[in-house]
Structure 1
Amino acid sequence: MAVFVALGAFLMTLAGGWVAQRVTDRRHLVLGFAGGLMLGVVGLDLLPEAIDAAGRPVAGVPAALLLFVGGFLLAHLVERLLAVRQAAHGAGEERVPQVGLTAAAAMVGHSLMDGIALGAAFQVGAGMGAAVALAVITHDFADGFNTYTLTSLYGNNRRKAFFMLFADAIAPIVGAATTLVFTLPEELLGAYLGFFSGALLYLAAAEILPEAHHDHPARSTVLCTIGGVGFIWLVVGIAD
């Protein structure tokens, strides 16, 4: 059942990527909406789940929040190292394609974990599985949208962007299929979600949103960002 439901996530991911690549003439609005989606996914979906699942606090701080900070710092470090490397080869301030591919690969990993969570939920019961299925399928539209946007934003060609989009779409099916063999411990899943949230927030705050306002500091871009957050809030509310 979980693998069948994951096919819906596959289609929604592709739909999100298709929308992202079709509205290139309104790139600033696309980036503004993508930034809002990423902010909403982190603050309203991933991080609350991570805090609940990651286990005991470490020195008085929830383990998920420590990993959240670690993910943020690692994303910053990786981007700076790649940027310095490219500058040393005379690339100046150009975008670093590897950053986009790394970010998209993280999205693929997240979608894989979505599939695992979906399979684990159906192992608990049909009701739990249905609730998780609704959340996964609806927010995979945002995953597809962000995967294509992140890959192309950093200068990767459309072929690579579509490849990463397809990998992101197939990942929930693969993840759901793995639960036929084993079950992921809840604390490990929570730790991953915390770490991934930090990396995703860095990309939204330091890259996506500044780029959205660089050439078009318009009110409509801000409204798209708010709309992205609102969309994730709606998805989370429906899932609950």
Structure 2
Amino acid sequence: MAVLVALGAFLMTLAGGWTAHRVTDRRHLVLGLAGGLMLGVVGLELLPEALEAAGTEVYGVPTALLLFVGGFLLAHLVERLLAHRQAAHGAEEVNGRTPEVGLTAAAAMVGHSAMDGVAIGAAFQVGGGMGAAVAVAVIAHDFADGFNTYTLTSVYGASPERSASSGQGGPPCRRALTMLFADAAAPVAGAASTLFLTLPEPLLGGYLGLFGGALLYLAAAEILPEAHHAHPARSTLLCTVAGVLFIWLVVGAAH
């Protein structure tokens, strides 16, 4: 049952990536929305779940929050190291960005989606009602996952010529499509894995905290500044707010 439900997440992720590709001619709006979705997922879903699941404290600070800060610093460190390596080897950057950053971020999204599948399977092990509630939340926000995965990879991995022509008639970024399909398949694989193993709740909480910190860094330090760099429009800000409100509605509906 869990694997069949995860197929809904597969389709929703592809729908999110398809939407991101179709509107890349308005990149500032896409990035503004993606930043809002990422902020909403971190603040309204990942961090509360991490705090509840991890439970323990280290020197008076919840473990999930320590890992959250660690994830933020890790994402910053990885980006700086990749940028330094590119400069040291004289490699050409794409639009001032290192493609490896987008691939690393997209790979993190794939890992998160796999954990979504694990969450679906674990919930169905508890009961059908719990499984259905978790599935609704996962399937709804997997649209945002697909949207963000495609956007992150295409922003960092496309050439300037491809970026300029990647509107509705432009060719899709091959790396973005590869990571999108990997992200779509990850929940199915995660749900299938629960047929053979059970993930300890503290470990799941720690992972969510670490991933949340990395995702917040990408949203605040990369996606949103890029959205407002060339198009500091009010519509971009409205898209960001709309993304946060959408995740709020999803979380509220799931509970």
> Normalising by structure 2, what TM-score?
0.93
Correspondence for 1:12: 12
Aligned residues: 240
Correspondence for 1:236: 251
One-letter code aligned to 2:43: G
Give, in angstroms, the shift of residue 164 of structure 1. Answer: 0.1
Correspondence for 1:106: 108
CA contact (8 A) 2:118 2:194 kept: yes
Alignment partner of 1:154: what SS? helix
Higher deviation after alignment, 203-212 or 52-61: 52-61
Q: What do you get for the CA RMSD once the two structures are aligned?
A: 1.0
Give, in angstroms, the shift of residue 88 of structure 1. Answer: 1.7
Correspondence for 2:133: 131
CA distance in 2, matches of 1:48, 1:55: 11
Percent of aligned positions that are identical: 80
CA distance in 2, matches of 1:25, 1:191: 38
CA contact (8 A) 1:100 1:156 kept: no
Correspondence for 2:157: 155
- Equivalent residue runs for 1:70-109 within 5 Å: 70-90=70-90, 91=92, 94-109=96-111
CA contact (8 A) 2:157 2:175 kept: no
> Normalising by structure 1, what TM-score?
0.98
Q: C-alpha offsets along residues 129-157 of structure 1, whole Å, 9 cap, x if unaligned?
A: 01000000000000000000010111347
CA contact (8 A) 2:67 2:213 kept: yes
Correspondence for 1:189: 204
1:213 aligns with 2:228: yes
CA contact (8 A) 1:71 1:196 kept: yes
Alignment partner of 1:30: what SS? helix
CA distance in 2, matches of 1:218, 1:85: 34
One-letter code aligned to 1:160: R
Q: C-alpha offsets along residues 86-144 of structure 1, whole Å, 9 cap, x if unaligned?
A: 11233367210001000000000000000001000000001100100000000000000
Segments of structure 1 that go 5 or more residues without pairing to the other structure are none
Segments of structure 2 that go 5 or more residues without pairing to the other structure are 160-172
Give, in angstroms, the shift of residue 55 of structure 1. Answer: 2.3
CA distance in 1, matches of 2:249, 2:214: 23
